Structure 1
Amino acid sequence: MITNLYVITAISVIGGALFGFDLSSMSAIIGTNQYRCYFNQGPHGPPFNDSPNCSGPTSTVQGGITASMPGGSFVGSLISGILSDWFGRKSSIQIGSVIWVIGSAISCAAQNYPMLIVGRFINGVCVGICSAQVPVYVSELAPPNRRGLVVGTQQWAITWGILIMFYVSYGCSFMSGPAAFRIPWGIQMLPAFILIVGLFWLPESPRWLARNDRWEECQQILQLIHSGKHGSDDFVSLEMRQLREACDDERLHSDVSFRELIEPKMLWRVHIGMFVQIWSQLTGINVIMYYITFVFGMAGLSGNSNLVASSISYVINVIMTIPTLFLVDRIGRRVILLSASVSLTVWWFICAGLMGGYGHAAPPGGIDNVPEESWSITGGPAKVVIACSYLVVASFAPSWGPISWVYPPELFPLRLRGKAVALATSSNWIFNFALSYYTPPAFVNIKWKTYLIFGVFCFAMTVHVFFCFPETAGRTLEEVDAALNSNTPAWRTRVGKRSLNVDSSGSNEIEPNNITDNSEKDVTNSDAAHVEKV
């Protein structure tokens, strides 16, 4: 059994990479002539041909094709909580991986767009399961000072999946006929096979084991992960004690269900967990990720130059995610989210102002027969729009990207975590679905004003985060639960720090981990040895 936390994380987050593979394969393929001709609904098809005049699917159908994946993810994320509670975190991820293989096979063999939609919907069910349960699984294994790092790696895996598959799809775009898109959709099955096999060597979540009264296995895994093979340390003892208290509390709530999530005591947390996922979509990032070829087409790029320029955004996405992995546990969640939402507001409003002030409507039918490219801007303003598109990615990647996965599992007690995170993640996917579906028609109908909408969303999220999102960094999951029950205003919360006192009798006592400004406590007992838990 593999017990190194970073190896466990590296294998687990392949589930996140699957979403990245699907996202960029569609982004790179929708602009190719092979795709547009095979699924053509314009005046030159069907029947399908290689005419350079192929306009591809209508904007509504293309929106449906793209949105089918997040539509399936919405369903998958909702059922993932039940699967996770019944079969375990690890097994639910494996189930999702099998579903991915089925969906990818159908997409690869698609003969028409309804078959493609079905395949992508099935892929989405896997993405919904994995996106909800991989963060839960990894967060339940990680110590507080590494939780943001390892859970945030989920987003880094997504960015790598996007980058790798984009270049695979770009390379295949030089092939003729349907092979240009069938090969990428077939290749994306391979990581799922790696994930299915790799999970057999990983431990189950110790918190899920504790919840099912498998205490010996729970303690063994905690010891192997947090203190090596020989004996236990004070942190393992602390976690075991907190887990027993959490499970004792759960026995008092034996009728745990989704209904408890809408009770007044828990509803506030649910709204925060859902909105960190909703706002991550309303940043507008998937306008860039899915439809960047349309955005750059309106800015005057076409053909290979458009695809190469689009790929730069994916490189930025990978690189800019890295700093947060090492900072999120040090400086906390709030400051990162707030600074990013302010910068995103600026970039979207600049884009909207330039597009509205210096652009003009494209000819009927859109630029190069692409109806979504309904607006045209050239010269210096076009270059600024391209630069601001990159800056949107650079602002999202180190902030809302990773933290939207880190944050929800921290907000809920053990008995509700699987279901609550599933519900929070489902809100991500239903908004992803809506944006994926409506963005192409929005480009056609309201044109540059699409940018203005996302600027308003980013301003609204800044206000919401400041007043409602508490800081959760630096605490065990059980301590976060206790701190959230204290009703401290969100803007007064700080990164937690812990002091562990070991007295001369050998017993140990954890100093209270205050969630307010006064988060550090002085240790006055001269007989106590002070050990800082970083």
Structure 2
Amino acid sequence: MVNWTRLTTNVYIISSWASIGGIMFGFDIGSNSGTIGTKQYQDYFDHPDALLQGGINAALSAGCFVGALCSGWPADRYSRKFTLIAASALFIVGSLLQSAANGVPMLCAGRVINGISVGITSMVIPLYQSEVAPKEIRGRLVAVQQWSITWGIFLAFWIQTGCAHIQDTAAFRAPWAIQAIPAIVLCAGMWAFPHSPRWLADRGRMEEAIKVLADIHGDGDVNHPRVLVEIQEIQAVIRFDREQASHRYSDLFKPGIAYRVFLGVFLQIWQQLTGMNIIMFYVVFLFQQAGIGNNQDSTLIASGVSYVINVVMTVPAILFVDKWGRRPTLIFGALAMSSFLWIVGGLLTTGDWYIQMDPAQSNYGKWSVTLPNIETTNAVVAFVYLFVASFATTWGPLGWVYPAEIYPLRVRAMAISLSTAANWFFNWLLSFAVPMMMERLRFGLYFLFAAFNFLMALHVWLCYPETKGFTLEEMNIVFEGNPRKKIDRAYVAERMKQTLDADIDHISTHGENDDEKKPQEV
């Protein structure tokens, strides 16, 4: 007989189920990137030019920005769990609107609604995962979200590739409807999983928090040594936060917090400036521009391989991110991506560029390139694939892991909301601008993103401390030191012990304040 309680309190299953929200995001990217290259889509929507297509794609990112920016309040007020459930229900509505779209306005409305949902889930999922995860595997569990995104992109793209052979509008309507399936699964199943124990503790529901911690970290034993230490750390941090600060957005700009907010925001911006999401959106156009594949099917298949690589190469990050460390993984990944983009841009400079006219619009054409030989063409494909592999193993998962673990509890939801909103704002800018940039900069576009990758490697080396292996409550101590020096774990443990001892002395001297047991108003 299946023990459902054991299943719903297993941290791997909790994290994996919450990550279905990542599949929702991936489905929307994959179905759209495969759709925009099909004749059925182009004919029905009257061959959108680069500006209009950029606007259609950017509608999702605009919704994501709004959703991420506004998600901090409901995540704090109504819980991480209920916010995920509401966001998944919203995604179902947006998917149905896209599937039923009778023109660009309705299509964009559906994409905006889906975007609001994705913006919320992309912020709340890593927040929820980081708060239920043991410190030893926190990176692994949060990285599962990125793996789910890659699976969503992979599945949606190949569903779209199969549907592309349908000779009517079902070629794009079916994939847009199918993407509602993971949202239905998340919405229905999330009810069975526990609330974040740190959210429960912050709301004054300490008995429930202890029960959840016991279930997920102590095999149900409330006296398990790990549970006792963890709940003591959480209580100490909550008590300090309530004596020293509030739960207001202004706290994000106070000394000691503003620097971490800056790091989280810039990490998410840099993740967009790697150029990876642009390749995922426009890989079909990219390969068409480079003359790869002599028909629609071969171009789609060459593009689809990049999604396979994205799925497969995220696995090493899940397995080893808690061994490699955050800093070296981010620095290596940025330098590798920079190198591969310089090479792709250099190879494209060797070709003959020309305007390929669109037969459906006699006054409109797109830049294409004829590369000198098949070897050069294959090299472009190979280095694009190597770029995708580098991102999938490094910046893909760590772009979500690092911001989810560096903030104090009192501002964690708001700070992650702000950093995730920055991610989606730049996603919107790039989604809107890149179709035109591909036409005007051509190979220069790859040089631009290569330079961004080099700069982000330098930024990480200068400013980002290692967070591997520390609890969320120890991050205040971690960020006191020099980010370029190795952190002494014994020193952090001793400082944390001193904090706990001081908290015990405070309680024994002053007693427990009844007000601290009550939920903190947001």
Q: Does 1:18 align with 2:24?
A: yes
Matched residue SS, 2:195: coil
Q: Does 1:469 align with 2:455?
A: no
1:384-423 to 2 correspondence within 5 Å? 384-423=379-418
1:459-498 to 2 correspondence within 5 Å? 459-484=454-479, 486=480, 488-494=481-487, 496=489
CA distance in 2, matches of 1:441, 1:349: 20
1:208 to 199, 204, 220: 199
Give how far 1:489 is off.
1.6
- Contact 1:73–1:124 under 8 Å retained in 2: yes
1:76-225 to 2 correspondence within 5 Å? 76-225=67-216
> What does the per-residue CA deviation read over 1:485-509, in whole Å, with 9 as the maximum and x for residues that have no partner?
x2x121113595799xxxxxxxxxx
CA RMSD of aligned residues (A): 1.9
CA distance in 1, matches of 2:259, 2:369: 42
> What does the per-residue CA deviation read over 1:94-126, in whole Å, with 9 as the maximum and x for residues that have no partner?
111111011111111111111111110110000
Letter of the 1:331 partner, please give it: W
Alignment match, 1:53: none
Alignment match, 1:377: 371
The 1:133–1:273 alpha-carbon spacing in structure 2 relative to 1, beyond 3 Å, is same
Letter of the 2:283 partner, please give it: I
1:269-348 to 2 correspondence within 5 Å? 269-300=260-291, 301=293, 302-348=295-341
Letter of the 1:5 partner, please give it: V
> What does the per-residue CA deviation read over 1:4-26, in whole Å, with 9 as the maximum and x for residues that have no partner?
11111111000111110000101
Q: Does 1:363 align with 2:359?
A: no
Letter of the 1:199 partner, please give it: M
Alignment match, 1:527: none
Which shifted more, 400-409 or 488-497? Answer: 488-497
CA distance in 2, matches of 1:455, 1:316: 20
> What does the per-residue CA deviation read over 1:432-478, in whole Å, with 9 as the maximum and x for residues that have no partner?
11111111011112211111110110111111010011110101100
Matched residue SS, 2:220: coil
- Contact 1:31–1:293 under 8 Å retained in 2: yes
Which shifted more, 458-467 or 294-303? Answer: 294-303
Give how far 1:372 is off.
4.6
Letter of the 1:419 partner, please give it: M
Q: Does 1:29 align with 2:20?
A: no
CA distance in 2, matches of 1:360, 1:298: 11
Letter of the 1:126 partner, please give it: S
- Contact 2:355–2:367 under 8 Å retained in 1: no
The 1:61–1:218 alpha-carbon spacing in structure 2 relative to 1, beyond 3 Å, is same
Give how far 1:371 is off.
4.1
Letter of the 1:362 partner, please give it: Y
CA distance in 1, matches of 2:340, 2:360: 27
CA distance in 1, matches of 2:495, 2:237: 17
Q: Does 1:264 align with 2:243?
A: no
Give how far 1:247 is off.
1.1
CA distance in 2, matches of 1:9, 1:446: 41
Alignment match, 2:510: none
- Contact 2:26–2:151 under 8 Å retained in 1: yes
- Contact 1:475–1:513 under 8 Å retained in 2: no
Flag the structure with higher helix content: 2
Matched residue SS, 1:252: helix
- Contact 1:375–1:448 under 8 Å retained in 2: no
> Which runs of 5 or more structure 1 residues have no equivalent in the other structure?
41-55, 500-509, 515-534
Letter of the 1:388 partner, please give it: F
Give how far 1:374 is off.
3.6
The 1:346–1:497 alpha-carbon spacing in structure 2 relative to 1, beyond 3 Å, is farther
The 1:271–1:446 alpha-carbon spacing in structure 2 relative to 1, beyond 3 Å, is same
CA distance in 2, matches of 1:60, 1:105: 25
Which structure carries more relative contact order (alpha carbon 8 Å, separation 6+)?
A: 2
- Contact 1:76–1:125 under 8 Å retained in 2: yes
Matched residue SS, 1:363: strand
Letter of the 2:454 partner, please give it: F
Give how far 1:384 is off.
1.2
Identity score, percent = 40
CA distance in 1, matches of 2:344, 2:496: 44
The 1:316–1:513 alpha-carbon spacing in structure 2 relative to 1, beyond 3 Å, is farther
Give how far 1:326 is off.
1.6
> What does the per-residue CA deviation read over 1:142-172, in whole Å, with 9 as the maximum and x for residues that have no partner?
0100100100100000000011111111111
CA distance in 1, matches of 2:271, 2:397: 10
- Contact 1:163–1:315 under 8 Å retained in 2: yes
CA distance in 2, matches of 1:77, 1:250: 24
Q: Does 1:73 align with 2:64?
A: yes
The 1:38–1:461 alpha-carbon spacing in structure 2 relative to 1, beyond 3 Å, is same
The 1:271–1:371 alpha-carbon spacing in structure 2 relative to 1, beyond 3 Å, is farther
Which shifted more, 438-447 or 202-211? Answer: 438-447
Give how far 1:427 is off.
0.7
The 1:149–1:81 alpha-carbon spacing in structure 2 relative to 1, beyond 3 Å, is same
> Which runs of 5 or more structure 2 residues have no equivalent in the other structure?
498-522
- Contact 1:297–1:373 under 8 Å retained in 2: no
CA distance in 1, matches of 2:367, 2:413: 42
- Contact 1:374–1:443 under 8 Å retained in 2: no
CA distance in 2, matches of 1:19, 1:81: 19
- Contact 1:21–1:188 under 8 Å retained in 2: yes
Letter of the 1:247 partner, please give it: I
CA distance in 2, matches of 1:371, 1:13: 41
Matched residue SS, 2:357: coil
Q: Does 1:445 align with 2:436?
A: no
The 1:144–1:459 alpha-carbon spacing in structure 2 relative to 1, beyond 3 Å, is same
The 1:57–1:368 alpha-carbon spacing in structure 2 relative to 1, beyond 3 Å, is closer
2:51 to 43, 56, 60: 60
The 1:66–1:306 alpha-carbon spacing in structure 2 relative to 1, beyond 3 Å, is same
CA distance in 2, matches of 1:113, 1:126: 20
Give how far 1:511 is off.
4.6
The 1:293–1:331 alpha-carbon spacing in structure 2 relative to 1, beyond 3 Å, is same
- Contact 1:93–1:129 under 8 Å retained in 2: yes
Q: Does 1:255 align with 2:249?
A: no
Which shifted more, 371-380 or 261-270? Answer: 371-380
Letter of the 1:309 partner, please give it: A
Q: Does 1:8 align with 2:4?
A: no
